[in-house]
Amino acid sequence: MSTARAFFAFCAISLSTGASGRTQAPIIDPAQSARLRMVETQLRSRGITDPAVLKAMSRVPRHAFVPVDVKAFAYDDRPLPIGRNQTISQPYVVAYMTEALRLQPEHAILEIGTGSGYQAAVIAELVKHVYTIEIIPDLASEARRSLATLGYRNVEVRSGNGYFGWADHAPFDRIIVTAAPPEIPQALIDQLAVGGLMVVPVGTASQEIVILSKTAAGVTQQKTIPVRFVPMVGKP
């Protein structure tokens, strides 16, 4: 099957009912059924249970964050190239990290590694405000554009080096890092609120997702699943 046909094979037309109760004109969401299938077969079946996370992943149009030549694969079980040698993570990894953050609606979040902006959009569905930093200026502007087009007003994208965090908006309730540093940057630990969590892939050749928890008594770290992220560059 050609790439284009494979994508449109996912097409679904849904009818919406307005406040008056009358059935309105059909809204065409060409990717809705593919996205719901992704949630069932890739996320729920592998143990993602947080209903808010599953709902966010079923709402955010992943295909709107990937380049046109890979849109047909937007809901596949794998990472995808987004240009400049960078990738958007596999949907399961996005869901796993989002669930591990244990987000609350009032939270302010810092993300390092905006990439396409997809992970930021998923988090933006669940919290008050997302601050996200991307080191490649072109990716930062593209992500800013994608997020604005989709109407995400609670995400601020900055082009810069995430090793320094974003001191002006610290402390953050949660920090997520989506590029892999060799070890957790101290500035990020400093900018995490007491009572906060950080979810970060750590390592070089082999990497694991680490969940760092900061309390008044200090910092503890728990290693979880093995992963493969692009390296976090620009270490000072």
- DSSP for 83-126 reads ETTEEEPPHHHHHHHHHHT---TT-EEEEE--TTSHHHHHHHTT
CA–CA separation, 232 and 180 (whole Å): 5
**Mind telling me the catalytic residues?**
89
* Pairing verdict, β 86-88 and 80-83: antiparallel
**Tokens for 200?**
């970060």
**Tokens for 118?**
């997809």
Q: Which residues contact 165 (CB under 8 A, 6 or more apart)?
A: 110, 112, 133, 175, 185, 187, 188, 190, 191
CA–CA separation, 128 and 208 (whole Å): 28
- HEC-encoded secondary structure of 17-29: ECCCCCECCCEEC
**Tokens for 207?**
């990497």
Binding residues for ligand SAH, rule: CB under 6 A, are 86-89, 112-113, 115-116, 118-119, 133-136, 139, 161-163, 178-179, 230, 232-234
Helices (H) and strands (E) in the chain, counts: 7, 11
Distances, alpha carbon 118 to alpha carbons 82, 96, 179, 216, in Å: 11, 14, 14, 33
